[in-house]
Amino acid sequence: MVLHRLGYSRHGLKLTEQALEIVQGYDRLVESQVLSHLAAISLERGEPKRALELLEQALLLDREVENKTGKATLLNNIAKVYHAMGQPERALELYGQALLLMREVGDRRGAAVPLINMAGIYRTTGQPERALELFEQALPLIREAGDRVGEAILLGSSGGAYYVMGQPEKALELLVQALPILREVGARTEEAKLLANMARVYRKMGQPERALELFEQALLLMDKVGERAEEIATMSDMALLLYKYMKRRQDAIVVMQQAILTLDETDLSQDASGHTRDRLEQYLDAMYRGVAPEQIDQTAMPVAQLQMIVHSTVAVMTTMQKHRAEWHKTLTETLQDVRRQGVDRQIDVDLYIAVLALLDGQIPSLPDDHFYTDALTRIQAGIAAAGVQDDELFPTAESSERLGETIVSNTLAVLGSRRERLSEWRMALLDLKEQIAQADEQQLVALLDAIVDLLDAGGNPAGLGADLAGDYAQVWQALVEALGK
């Protein structure tokens, strides 16, 4: 289907659906081919479940007419869907079946396709040498068939393997060879992917401005051709470039928000780089908090697990103290496991050490820009709100400063990009106010009242916060100044 291959899936969808209506029930072989094209468009649009349904229908038709080549092609395409759905092992199994069928019928060009796709999985799962072996097997088959687009894709994929192996110059050399071929034949979808990969190489080579230009070019093309999984991956990488290498935090936040919104518009479980929604949310939260750029790429625990650690630690320090020793043992064992996983989990190690210090009655400490500083602050605030008066456990100066930072960042978020959580944050502030009402924290109560009124006023601070003094007056002033920017 020419419109699909050249990257016009939005236009091709209607034509393909009409073609399916025409051939349905008359020619099973052609019907299978049309279903396959429709599935490819569905996958490109971020609808892998729909694509899988269509391909399974097509596979049944090919089995009826004993079309081995068609079956191999379908198995390859089904594998591609499973890969997009985050199941690389199942995808490799199906690619292997497709490869055997293609070799059985003597289709050398067809055999190159599953070889390339298998190599792509190996490249993204930490086995670039194996990927290069398969690329080298596929290249002569592609050239023998005179497939220019296939050759360009293969050059680009080989470049990706060299990139993973830490050879960006060699990677760029291959990508530069592939780009004019794709432009010559008008393969816009593949051109967009290649531009994004070139941007990643330039980022690796310390040229962020050039990388940003290429990411922007890639996104313009991806928006036109409807390549959703790649578009989301490109946006997230662009946001990280802005944050880590160009110190443009606000721009990074905007781009990462757009990546999450785009993912939510699809039924994809992850983007083309394997980022789940949870991972993108972790990046965004880190950007909001101003986490150190060198930490933002480190592997973080799932959001649900972090919430469990926060709530359980507060519980064993307050209302369920008899379980404190048991929880201490669990966290100690978890810390040992995480340490064995290497430097990629260092930020998790830092958090576990801090929480264990808290359980031991020591003063926990994380740098202000640490990925988990906000989580530690929530634990300390929860303990304080429940009435723990041990000054060593919860030093007033440190806690008020960190609690103030959390209040400011959360309030700005719900008045900005996260308005859907405004009611939830308002209730949390009221709950905190109720919990500390009996304590000698009248200035904190006044601050919470002012912020609730601010939320009710849609973010207009006029006439509010006048009674505040001391640290909490400074928190209020910081919030007002941030709102005015």
Residues 461 and 429: their CA atoms lie apart, in Å, by 17
Top pLDDT among 394 and 181 is at 181
Top pLDDT among 383 and 22 is at 383
- Cα–Cα distances (Å) from 48 to 119, 229, 260, 433, 458, in that order, read 21, 10, 18, 46, 40
pLDDT at 11 over 60: no
Which residue is listed with tokens 């400011």? 408
Give the chain's radius of gyration (CA, Å): 27
pLDDT at 439 over 80: no
- Give 347's pLDDT tier (boundaries 50, 70, 90): confident
pLDDT at 332 over 80: yes
For the segment 55-70, the average pLDDT, to the nearest whole number, is 72
Range in 53-57, 64-68, 282-286 the model is least confident about = 64-68
For the segment 199-203, the average pLDDT, to the nearest whole number, is 95
pTM metric for this prediction: 0.54
pLDDT at 477 over 90: no
Range in 40-54, 182-196, 454-468 the model is least confident about = 40-54
Backbone angles phi, psi at 186, to 5 degrees: 75, 30
For the segment 382-407, the average pLDDT, to the nearest whole number, is 52
pLDDT at 6 over 70: no
- Give 390's pLDDT tier (boundaries 50, 70, 90): very low
Residues 117 and 172: their CA atoms lie apart, in Å, by 21
Residue type, 114: P
For the segment 456-461, the average pLDDT, to the nearest whole number, is 86
Residues recorded for the chain: 485
Give the pLDDT of residue 343.
57
Give the pLDDT of residue 1.
38
Give the pLDDT of residue 26.
55
Residues 83 and 87: their CA atoms lie apart, in Å, by 5
Give the pLDDT of residue 2.
37
- Give 389's pLDDT tier (boundaries 50, 70, 90): very low
Give the pLDDT of residue 399.
46
Give the pLDDT of residue 466.
84
Percentage of the chain modeled with pLDDT above 70: 82
Give the pLDDT of residue 409.
79
Give the pLDDT of residue 22.
53
Q: What is the pLDDT of residues 79-121, one digit of tens each?
A: 888 887 878 889 999 999 999 999 999 999 889 989 999 998 8
Give the pLDDT of residue 55.
82
Give the pLDDT of residue 62.
62
- Give 336's pLDDT tier (boundaries 50, 70, 90): confident
What would the two tokens of residue 94 be? Answer: 């199906």
Give the pLDDT of residue 392.
34
- Cα–Cα distances (Å) from 429 to 83, 171, 251, 344, in that order, read 43, 52, 29, 35
- Give 388's pLDDT tier (boundaries 50, 70, 90): very low
Q: What is the pLDDT of residues 300-322, one digit of tens each?
A: 676 667 777 888 888 888 877 88
For the segment 17-36, the average pLDDT, to the nearest whole number, is 60
Give the pLDDT of residue 302.
67
Arithmetic mean of pLDDT over the chain: 81
Contacts by 295-304 with C-beta closer than 8 Å and gap 24+?
A: 295/347, 295/369, 295/370, 295/371, 296/240, 296/243, 296/244, 296/371, 297/240, 297/244, 298/344, 298/345, 298/346, 298/347, 298/371, 299/344, 299/345, 299/348, 300/347, 300/348, 300/371, 301/348, 302/278, 303/278
